[in-house]
Amino acid sequence: MNNNQLAFLLARITLGINFFLHGLVRIPKLVNFANGVTKGFEDTLLPLILVKPMAYGIPIVEIILGILLTLGISSRKTLTATAVFIIILISGSAFKEDWGAINVQMLYALFVFFLIKNLSQEVWTIGSKINQTNKPQ
């Protein structure tokens, strides 16, 4: 494994663990989390009927993306889904005019874009192990 591959591997796992734990710690307090998120959008243009289901879905999406990223399952699709998720979060933060949150979310976006740009450096994935076992001898 060369330095670029090692950097990619560690970056992918770091992002995956981050997303996974973000979601995991919210699950035991999901109702309070969703209510807090919804309350934060009361004075915005977004209809609360759209915000509430999104608030419940955020931790679940974070857990799923975290697992997929950590294990390297369908990384291109997973990273694309992660980018879309971050775009949605940035849009919500913009409606709230929470520019501080957007700054942090932009760092996540850059992290994801870095990983997508360097997918050719990917090693040690569940997908690569499956492909190796399915190759004809």
Which residues, 6 or more positions from 108, have their beta carbon under 8 angstroms from its beta carbon? 15, 86
How do the domains of the chain map onto residue ranges?
Answer: 3-127
pTM of the predicted model over 0.75: yes
Q: Are 19 and 69 spatial neighbours (Cβ–Cβ below 8 Å)?
A: yes
- How does pLDDT run across 20-79, given as a tens digit for each residue? 999 999 999 999 999 999 999 999 999 999 999 999 999 999 999 999 999 999 999 999
- How does pLDDT run across 79-122, given as a tens digit for each residue? 999 999 999 999 999 999 999 999 999 999 999 999 999 999 99
